[in-house]
Amino acid sequence: MNKKWELAEVNNEVVDRLKKDFNLSDLLAICLVNRGIVNSDELRVFLEPTRNDFHNPFQMPDMQKAVDRIVKAMKNNEKVIIYGDYDVDGITSTMVLKRFLADHGLEVDYKIPNRLNEGYGLNKEAVKKISEDGYKLIITVDCGISGLEEIDYANNLGLEVIVTDHHEPQENIPNCVAVVDCKRKDNKYPFKSLAGCGVVLKLIQAISEQNQYKAEDYLKFLDIVCVGTISDIVPLIDENRLIAKLGLMLINETRNLGLGFLLRSIGLKDINSTTISFGIAPRINACGRMGFEEEALKLFLTDDVEEAKRITIKLNDFNRQRQEIEKAIFEDAIKQIEENNMENEPIIIVSGEGWHHGVIGIVSSKITELYYKPSILVCFDGEVAKGSGRSIPGFDLHNALCEAGDLLTKYGGHEMAIGLTLEKRNFEEFKAKMEEIANKANLEECIPVLKIDKELVSQDITEENVMNLQKLEPFGEANKNPVFLYKNLKIDSIRSLSEGKHLKLTLKDDLNNNIILGIGFNMGYLADEYRLFDKIDVVR
């Protein structure tokens, strides 16, 4: 797709000050300023964060109430259950809280709903079973904020509930012991974008501080929390960056047996945010997508070498199965889009009988990336329809769902990603309603913007600059890899690879005869559009 190239307007005065005061290279200083890092405190925390940079957890809504109730349960050795989610964030959240409480004398159980049979979040059947099994307290992690009806049901059964979540609340929040969620309207916590496992980290930090435990008691879980944070694609700024940067240091020498086996099974040694996103996260998520949500959790909890080996093999198998199913659904969806000219619609909504609804979210992401339009994939199973959607900047998909909420049985998520359930008979009306909402949003004006940090000259391309730019890691949402423009390069050779899929070319800077080797993934078609000695501008 065509993208608008946008070269950052650099404040040279601020750049020069940072270079002088902190002995930074020109490129590094420019990249920091482009990311809004302009004063000494921000610079120090961004480049060299420490454990002392975590915010006060008791600033979070209802944190004191949650801590007091959990401490009471610990003192009385109550029967407690953690209710989590089946994705990486939910799995890591559950593991961290369970292990932390066990470390301090309270053995708790857990419930991870089956994605295929139960869906996301609390459900009444599970709550009823929890009550019948004699539990006194439910602690939700990475879910619960939208479970108003289910929590009222729990209250009626005599259960107490603590919600810890990071998703958007509805108009009202659940009526329970505590609702720890920085997306609440009355939130005063300085950072609102923690992942679910980040909220759990703050919870165990607060318990530790109130009970005067060692800081190591909660900080030792940073490797697992780092995996959950990066995998959930939350912005890697503020506390999320702190979690990711410190956590990555621990991951490379993790003491978690299961995580270590998983890393070695896929040949990962020097771990960064990219290897977690594309190596670790898909394998953990594959468990939930394929309906075996507890396997990943067991991997993180086990202290048995043989069990860790067995589960690691399972995770890799689940991931291969997921890839095959995903490919088939993607091809089916693309066929529908092309046959019905859906690429011209403001929002792409496709459906299929028998699609695996544990995988449709990934396919939706790929379709949104391909067409740069919001998309929703819906799978039919009898008279029930389940869907998953992804959006683009400028279109709040969750708000759109709220407008169509009377047609839905259940829905949740946030502005960029949603999940929903509805009756099959309401699908066409729902589709029409969402298209109407998207039409009003003037999405044709949304053009993807490629933000460029700086235009390079040949003197900028040095090993020293490459090493300096590594200080910006870990990269992720809201802290993307730096992007640079190099103009007026001459094509010295050009050809397509992989049966025309990718592009390989050699470029020459005539000013100094530097040769640059380039690969353009999924850009093989350009081999027929350019010729030798053509002059082009490139962005990397």
- CA dist list (Å): 103 to 48, 218, 221: 30, 10, 12
Same domain, 134 and 229: yes
| Residue where a domain stops, chosen among 220, 253, 286 | 253
Nearest to 484 by CA among 103, 10, 89: 10
| pLDDT for residue 1 | 58
Q: Residue 61 sits in which domain range? A: 53-253
Where does a domain end: 221, 253, 285? Answer: 253
Confidence band of 397 (pLDDT split at 50, 70, 90): very high
Q: What are phi and psi of 493, to 5 degrees?
A: -160, 150
Residue 152 maps to which CATH number? 3.90.1640.30
The pLDDT of residue 516 is: 87
Measured CA to CA in angstroms, residue 417 lies from 42, 348, 401, 414 at distances of: 30, 14, 11, 6
Domain of 395: which CATH number?
A: 3.10.310.30
pLDDT of residue 270: 81
Burial class (CB in 10 A: 0-12, 13-18, 19+), 324: exposed
Mean pLDDT of 11-38: 93
Closest CA to 311 of 260, 271, 239: 260
Within a domain: 27: no
HEC-encoded secondary structure of 388-445: EEECCCCCCHHHHHHHCHHHCCEEEECCCEEEEEEEHHHHHHHHHHHHHHHHHCCHHH
Q: CA geometry: angle at 505 spanning 501 and 510, to 5°?
A: 155
Indicate if 232 and 354 belong to the same structural domain: no
**Is residue 376 domain-resident?**
yes
Which pLDDT value is given to residue 40?
A: 87
For residue range 457-486, what is the model confidence (pLDDT) as tens digits? 888 888 999 999 999 999 998 999 999 999
Say yes or no: 384 and 247 in one domain.
no
CA 64 to chain centroid, in Å, comes to 28
* 152-161 mean pLDDT: 98
Give the mean pLDDT of 308-313.
97
Q: Do 344 and 226 share a structural domain?
A: no
Average pLDDT over residues 392-407: 92
Rg (C-alpha) for the chain, rounded Å, is 25
Q: Which pLDDT score, from 0 to 100, does residue 120 have?
A: 81
Find, among 69, 46, 50, 45, the residue nearest to 206 by Cα: 69
Residues 233 and 368 in one domain: no
Give 282's pLDDT tier (boundaries 50, 70, 90).
Answer: very high
- Share the mean pLDDT of the chain: 93
Q: Residue 406 falls within a domain, yes or no?
A: yes
Amino acid of residue 494: I
Q: Are residues 247 and 345 in the same domain?
A: no
Cα–Cα distance between 39 and 532 in angstroms, integer?
Answer: 47
Residue 116 lies in a domain: yes
246 and 103 together in one domain: yes
pLDDT of residue 459: 86
User: Is the four-CA dihedral 354, 355, 356, 357 of positive or negative sign?
Assistant: negative
- Predicted confidence (pLDDT) per residue in 199-243, tens digit: 999 999 999 999 999 999 999 999 999 999 999 989 999 999 999
Query: Given 445, 473, 508, which residue is the final one in a domain?
Result: 445
pLDDT exceeds 90 at position 411: no
The domain tally of the chain equals 2
Same domain, 350 and 246: no
Domain shared by 240 and 351, yes or no: no
- Judged against a pLDDT cut of 80, whether residue 245 lies above it is answered with yes
Is the pTM value of this prediction over 0.85? yes
Strands 178-180 and 160-164: parallel
Look at residue 412 and tell me if it is in a domain: yes
- First-to-last alpha carbon distance for the chain, in angstroms, is 16
* Cα–Cα distance measured from residue 456 to residue 537, given in angstroms and rounded to the nearest whole number: 11
Token look-up 């066990």 returns 102
Mark whether 84 and 208 lie in a shared domain: yes
Residue 431 forms part of a structural domain: yes
Identify the band that residue 302 occupies on the pLDDT scale cut at 50, 70 and 90. Answer: very high
Q: Within a domain: residue 293?
A: no
Average pLDDT of the segment spanning 521-531: 89
Closest alpha carbon to 104 in 138, 70, 144, 155: 70
Residue 2 clears pLDDT 80, i.e. is over it: no
Q: Which of 162 and 118 is assigned the larger pLDDT?
A: 162
Report the pLDDT value the prediction gives residue 53, as an integer from 0 to 100. 96
Residue 345 and residue 219 in one domain: no
Distance, CA of 350 to CA of 362 (rounded, Å):
14
Of the chain, the percentage scoring pLDDT greater than 90 comes to 83
Whether residue 190 lies inside any domain: the answer is yes
Give per-residue pLDDT as tens, 162-203: 999 999 898 899 999 999 999 999 999 999 999 999 999 999
- Tens digits of residue pLDDT in 315-327: 999 999 999 999 9
230/472 Cα distance (integer angstroms): 15
DSSP β-bridge partners for residue 249: none
Tell me what percent of the residues of the chain surpass a pLDDT of 70: 100
pLDDT recorded at residue 461: 86
- In a shared domain, residues 70 and 185: yes
